[in-house]
Amino acid sequence: MTAKGIAIGCVGGVRQRQFEAKLTALQAARGLADSLSITPNEAAKHGISLNHDGQRRTAFELLSYPTLGLSEVARIWPQFASIDPKIASQLEIDAKYAVYLGRQTADIASYRRDESFELPDELDYAALKGLSNEIRQKLQALRPGTIGQAGRIDGITPAALTLLVAHVRRAKGRPAA
């Protein structure tokens, strides 16, 4: 909110400088966390158990694990112990939420991609298995041109939309992923 307050000019100079200093420190801590990485075998030497998939993980990624915190990361990279506690706490919070934000971003991209997914004019909704009779009747009567249009029909569920996309992709000979 402080950034919005600064943008509209209702935050005083002292508060603005404090905010900017915190933001700079947080960006520096994030840069450090993104720049350091470790393999599962190296992590095991520090008492941290990771999937042995050969993938390197950054300090920021380690902080996203529910069982790991800054103290565990600081055992591997001692420079994390000198980060201001408020900045360290915010960095850890950002890492924990980054997982969910990434999922939401992927969900939004998938939704936008499928929003314009075209449904063929000749699609026989009555023949679709797995849809309720009510949904089939609504789709047959309204004949939506895209998944987005179908999704705005009252009573059409996300599961029904997923089934529609899968059916059309299968019919076109494409994978239903």
110 pLDDT more than 80: no
How much of the chain, in percent, has pLDDT values that exceed 70? 98
The pLDDT-based confidence of 174 (bands split at 50, 70, 90) is low
The pLDDT-based confidence of 175 (bands split at 50, 70, 90) is low
At residue 108, the pLDDT reads 77
Average of pLDDT values for 132-136?
A: 94
Where in the chain do CATH 1.10.150.570 domains reside? Answer: 125-171
Quick one: three-class SS letters along the chain? CHHHHHHHCCCCHHHHHHHHHHHHHHHHHHHHHHHCEECHHHHHCCCCCCCCCCCCEEHHHHHHCCCCCHHHHHHHCHHHHHCCHHHHHHHHHHHHHHHHHHHHHHHHHHHHHHHCCECCCCCCHHHCCCCCHHHHHHHHHHCCCEHHHHHCCCCCCHHHHHHHHHHHHHHCCCCCC
pLDDT for 89-106, tens place per residue? Answer: 999 999 999 988 888 888
Where in the chain do CATH 1.10.10.1800 domains reside? Answer: 2-109
pLDDT for 10-60, tens place per residue? Answer: 999 999 999 999 999 999 999 999 999 999 999 999 999 999 998 999 999
Q: What is the pTM of this model?
A: 0.65
Please name the fold of domain 2-109: Arc Repressor Mutant, subunit A (1.10.10)
CATH architecture of 125-171: Orthogonal Bundle (1.10)
d(CA 114, CA 51) in angstroms, rounded, equals 33
At residue 30, the pLDDT reads 97
Over the chain, what is the mean pLDDT? 92
